[in-house]
């Protein structure tokens, strides 16, 4: 449902894969979540330019944003639980990422720095008033500054009467991820009155793999791990998953949803052994560890 897939050309939508996804969810009684309406990546360049190739004006880009969001959300109105309305709008220090959405719509004015987020949430809510609306980002569980930046976004939206139901912490973790830092993000974000979702959970087994979710840096090659299949690595992976899920259970009144970023290792976007099922779809020690935590609760 990303922009480049569902809306590849100005006057052309491609519903084939998104419709198939929705049909699959409904057939199998699964809960569909839309991802994502406004993001700086995987969006066609034409979105931000006019016919002459010049950057759009603020009003023109807002009109283009509204048309896209309204069309996509309306198509699945009443069938989808919620949308990641805005994805990855923050720098690591919690300031706004200078994306085309931000640069054009804010016009460089401090008082307009959240405008592209505000408008995206307004348009999505207008198209389907009953669905949940989320802000989604990575490294919120590892960077207090970035987490605090997300808190400011939530507070600003709420101050303007804009609906926001939850914040998605992508949670692309590693074997050394700090449980204290993860807990800080859950407590700090939920204190604003929103739910907290783990939206893209996986754990990199390579010790020094790059952090975050920048697809230009993080990929299967940069995170490959020759020790992934070893008993030691698999036990450490299981222990880390158990530690994280104990925290989810501790905060189960505010952690509303946990979504893994992939079903099994063979289809993961990163290398190593990041998920609960191996390359042959067989459950790993990590799977058993997660089940055990839930059963204890």
Over residues 82-110, the pLDDT tens digits come to 999 999 999 999 999 999 999 999 999 99
- Check pLDDT > 70 for residue 159: yes
Whether residue 88 lies in the annotated active site:
yes
Digit-coded pLDDT (tens) for 43-57:
999 999 999 999 999
pLDDT at 109: 97
Residue 223 has a pLDDT of: 93
pLDDT in tens, 132-157: 999 999 999 999 999 999 999 999 99
Rounded to whole angstroms, the Cα distance separating 213 from 207 reads 16
Do 81 and 199 touch, CB atoms closer than 8 A?
A: no
Among this protein's residues, is 111 annotated catalytic? no
Q: Could you tell me how far CA 258 lies from the centroid of its own chain? A: 11
**104 closest CA partner among 69, 67, 56:** 56
CA dihedral defined by 81, 199, 141, 289, rounded to 10 degrees?
120
Q: What is the dihedral of CA 85, 201, 8, 77, to 10 degrees?
A: -50
Q: Which of 88, 122, 132, 141 is catalytic?
A: 88
Name all domains of the chain by residue range, CATH numbers in brackets.
Answer: 138-296 (3.20.20.80)
pLDDT of 297 > 70? The answer is no
Asked if residue 134 lies in contact with residue 83, where contact means CB atoms within 8 angstroms, the answer is yes
pLDDT at 212: 82
Q: What is the mean pLDDT of residues 249-266?
A: 96
Task: Give the pTM.
Answer: 0.96
CB 85 within 8 A of CB 125: no
Region class of 276: left (phi > 0), else alpha (psi between -120 and 50), else beta = alpha
Give the residue-averaged pLDDT of 205-224.
87
């Amino acid at each position: 449902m990303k922009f480049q897939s569902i809306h590849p050309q100005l006057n052309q939508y491609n519903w084939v894969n998104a419709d198939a996804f929705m049909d699959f969810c409904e057939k199998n009684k699964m809960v569909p979540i839309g991802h994502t309406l406004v993001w700086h990546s995987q969006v066609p360049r034409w979105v931000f330019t006019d016919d002459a190739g010049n950057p759009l004006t603020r009003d023109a880009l807002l009109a283009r944003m509204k048309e896209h969001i309204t069309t996509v959300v309306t198509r699945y109105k009443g069938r989808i639980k919620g949308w990641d309305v805005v994805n990855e709008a923050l720098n690591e220090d919690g300031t706004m990422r200078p994306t085309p959405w931000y640069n054009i719509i804010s016009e460089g004015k401090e008082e307009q720095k959240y405008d592209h987020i505000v408008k995206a949430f307004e348009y999505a809510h207008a198209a389907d008033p009953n669905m949940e609306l989320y802000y989604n980002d990575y490294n919120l569980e590892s960077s207090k500054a970035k987490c605090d930046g997300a808190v400011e976004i939530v507070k600003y939206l709420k101050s303007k009467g804009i609906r926001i139901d939850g914040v998605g912490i992508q949670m692309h973790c590693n074997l050394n991820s700090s449980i204290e830092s993860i807990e800080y993000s859950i407590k700090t974000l939920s204190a604003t009155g929103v739910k907290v979702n783990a939206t893209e959970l996986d754990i990199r087994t390579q010790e020094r793999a790059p952090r975050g979710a920048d697809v230009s840096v993080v990929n299967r090659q940069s995170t490959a791990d020759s020790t992934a299949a070893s008993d030691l690595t698999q036990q450490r992976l299981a222990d880390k998953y158990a530690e994280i899920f104990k925290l989810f259970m501790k905060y189960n009144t505010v952690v509303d949803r946990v979504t893994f970023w992939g079903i099994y290792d063979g289809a993961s976007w990163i290398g190593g052994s990041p998920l609960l099922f191996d390359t042959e779809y067989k459950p790993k020690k990590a799977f058993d560890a997660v089940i055990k935590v839930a059963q204890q609760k």
